[in-house]
């Protein structure tokens, strides 16, 4: 929900995916759930235009937030980092028992694709330094080493296969969702499943996915994993 864009643009996660995931968390017994992002514009415009705020409010009020103020963040040291050793991360994220990444599947002009791993940048205060001060792919993996999602749910109901992350671009409509407790595998499976910029791309060709695999955050060799397909 980072962008002021509607559902058809595929720039944000589909509100129905977010709402259903929220509902499932509450039904599973979660005592507290928050849907969070650090959007590119302060206020409620991106939450409202994306449809995500209304979807969340339809499940339970007061759970969906765009956190842009410094008071919502705490600067920490990223132990074991290779390049980005410090950044400020959302306090709610640092205190959470479970972190779920729920990105839309889309291209990105800086990293090739933006999925579960790249999407963790939406939980930090200073995204700009990740682009300007550090190697971006390495910084993404440094960040994910500290706030690795327990579950990745990639929304591929629509795939923004060109001109991401904002669009407008070519939108594919696979009507699929890819989920895994391994965010690297989820990203790799998503990359392997669709065309990007009009061609097929191997997971190893995406810098931060290959680095995350090499540093032991998960597996990108999806051809060797047990992938179950459900038709609903």
Task: Tell me what the mean pLDDT of segment 119-148 comes to.
Answer: 97
Q: Which domain holds residue 91?
A: 68-221
Q: Name 68's Cβ contacts closer than 8 Å, sequence gap at least 6.
A: 38, 39, 42
CB atoms within 10 A of CB 188: 30
pLDDT at 40 over 90: no
Domain presence at residue 54: no
C-alpha 225: how far from chain center: 22
Task: Tell me what the mean pLDDT of segment 25-40 comes to.
Answer: 95
| 4's tokens | 């002021």
Write down the mean pLDDT value for the chain: 96
Domain presence at residue 13: no
The answer to whether residues 87 and 40 touch, using CB atoms and an 8 Å cutoff, is no
What confidence category does residue 158 fall into, taking pLDDT thresholds of 50, 70 and 90? very high
The length of the chain is: 232
Cα separation, 141 vs 222, whole angstroms: 19
pLDDT for 48: 92
What confidence category does residue 42 fall into, taking pLDDT thresholds of 50, 70 and 90? confident
Number of separate domains in the chain: 1
pLDDT at 162 over 90: yes
Domain presence at residue 166: yes
pLDDT for 1: 83
Structure confidence by residue, pLDDT tens digits, 51-81: 999 999 999 999 999 999 999 999 999 999 9
Domain presence at residue 75: yes
Can you give the pTM of this predicted structure? 0.95
Domain presence at residue 43: no
Domain presence at residue 228: no
Domain presence at residue 178: yes
């Amino acid at each position: 929900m980072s962008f002021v864009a509607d559902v058809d643009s595929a720039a944000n996660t589909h509100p129905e995916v977010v709402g259903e995931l929220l509902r499932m968390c509450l039904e599973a017994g979660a005592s507290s759930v928050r849907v969070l992002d650090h959007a590119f514009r302060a206020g409620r415009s991106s939450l409202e235009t994306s449809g995500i705020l209304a979807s969340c409010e339809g499940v339970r009020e007061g759970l969906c937030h765009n956190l842009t103020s410094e008071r919502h963040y705490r600067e920490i040291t990223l132990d074991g980092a290779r390049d980005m050793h410090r950044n400020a991360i959302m306090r709610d994220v640092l205190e959470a028992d479970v972190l779920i990444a729920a990105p839309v599947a889309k291209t990105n002009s800086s990293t090739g694709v933006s999925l579960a791993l790249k999407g963790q940048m939406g939980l930090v205060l200073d995204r700009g330094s990740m682009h300007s001060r550090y190697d971006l792919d390495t910084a993404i993996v440094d960040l994910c080493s500290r706030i690795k999602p327990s579950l990745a749910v990639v929304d591929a109901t629509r795939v923004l296969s060109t001109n991401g992350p904002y669009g407008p671009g070519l939108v594919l409509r696979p009507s699929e969702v890819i989920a895994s407790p391994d965010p690297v595998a989820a990203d790799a499976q998503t990359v392997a499943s669709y065309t990007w910029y009009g061609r097929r791309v191997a997971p190893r060709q995406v810098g931060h996915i290959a680095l995350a695999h090499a540093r032991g955050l998960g597996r990108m060799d999806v051809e060797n994993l047990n992938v179950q397909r459900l038709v609903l």
